[in-house]
Amino acid sequence: MDNNPQIEQIERYLSNTISAQEKTNLEQALQEDQDLATEFEKRQRAHKLLDFAVVSNLKAQLESLEEESKVVSISQGRRKRLYTLSIAASLLVLVGAFAILMPRNNLSSTEMAAAYYSGADLNSQRSGETLETIPENYTAGLEALEQNQIQEAITALSSVADSTGYALPAQYFLAHALYQNQDYAQAAENFGAVQASGDLRFSENAEWYGLLACLAQDGTCLDQAQQISTNNQHSFQQEAKKIVKRLK
């Protein structure tokens, strides 16, 4: 896909440097080519996340400089204080420019979810198991999910029986399939059930993706985000802190 000439068009589309005719042609191609549509969504999420990270970093630098300016002693002279403040002012102007030129930075809850969602790590769940121990519908579900055959993945993973011992992993990956199918409410319910199980293999990720499923519905998700952001052991603590800041 990286060698596809349409990738350059996607990048120009996302940076708003594409011609009107090219935009129309690309949008038509996205309707007809599922692989291209998947690539477009992946790159769109990357653009949003990059823009979000750039502005967040600039704002953090500004806050740091402003705080530093408060503790500069008078004995160091007014010139140093004015120099520090001038840097902060320059950063403020730069942040403002990003806000004007890159409207994607004003992310809604739904856009934040899209920016942070990276999908399930399918390979890590296959290690340590033999083909004889894995139910066929579970394997078929993972393969369908990996190939972006979402409806097939939902059907296969939904049919994994409790008696196989794979019901919980199937529910976790089913939640991802539902999320990618934009059935965010059901995905959130599945992620919640997996989190409640306390299974260390999945519960932390389920909590994080459950938050994203909540955000994808443009829901009120502050409590969920704060719970993750205050957990020093959580792998997604820093990401949750950024989300909390934007939700407040």
**Which one is predicted more confidently, 6 or 101?**
6
- DSSP class of residue 232 equals T
pLDDT of residue 185: 95
C-alpha neighbours within 13 Å on the C-beta side of residue 22 = 14
pLDDT of residue 86: 53
**Which one is predicted more confidently, 139 or 68?**
139
pLDDT of residue 3: 45
pLDDT of residue 97: 46
| Apex 134 CA angle, 194 and 144, nearest 5 | 75
C-alpha neighbours within 13 Å on the C-beta side of residue 231 = 16
pLDDT of residue 18: 79
**Which one is predicted more confidently, 47 or 79?**
47
pLDDT of residue 7: 77
| DSSP states along 55-103 | HHHHHHHHHHHHHHHHH--GGG-HHHHHHHHHHHHHHHHHHHHHHHH-G
Task: Return d(Cα 206, Cα 116) in angstroms, integer.
Answer: 14
Sequence length of the chain is 248
Contact status, residue 113 vs residue 216, Cβ threshold 8 Å: yes
Extract the tokens encoding 215.
């955000």
Query: CATH for 115-247?
Result: 1.25.40.10
Does residue 109 register a pLDDT over 80? yes
Neighbours of 78 (CB within 10 A): 9
pLDDT of residue 52: 53
Task: Return d(Cα 55, Cα 95) in angstroms, integer.
Answer: 6
Tens of pLDDT, residue by residue over 128-178, are 444 457 889 999 999 999 888 999 999 999 999 888 889 999 999 999 999
Indicate the helix (H) or strand (E) that contains 173. Answer: helix 167-180
Sequence spans of domains, the chain:
1-106, 115-247
Task: Return d(Cα 150, Cα 136) in angstroms, integer.
Answer: 17
pLDDT of residue 163: 82
pLDDT of residue 228: 96
Q: What percent of the chain has pLDDT over 70?
A: 69
Contact status, residue 177 vs residue 140, Cβ threshold 8 Å: no
Extract the tokens encoding 56.
């967040």
Q: Quick one: 174 exposed, middle or buried, by C-beta within 10 A (0-12, 13-18, 19+)?
A: buried
Amino acid at the residue 202: F
Amino acid at the residue 128: G
How does residue 19 score in pLDDT terms, banded at 50, 70 and 90?
confident
- What end-to-end distance do the CA atoms of the chain give, in Å? 39
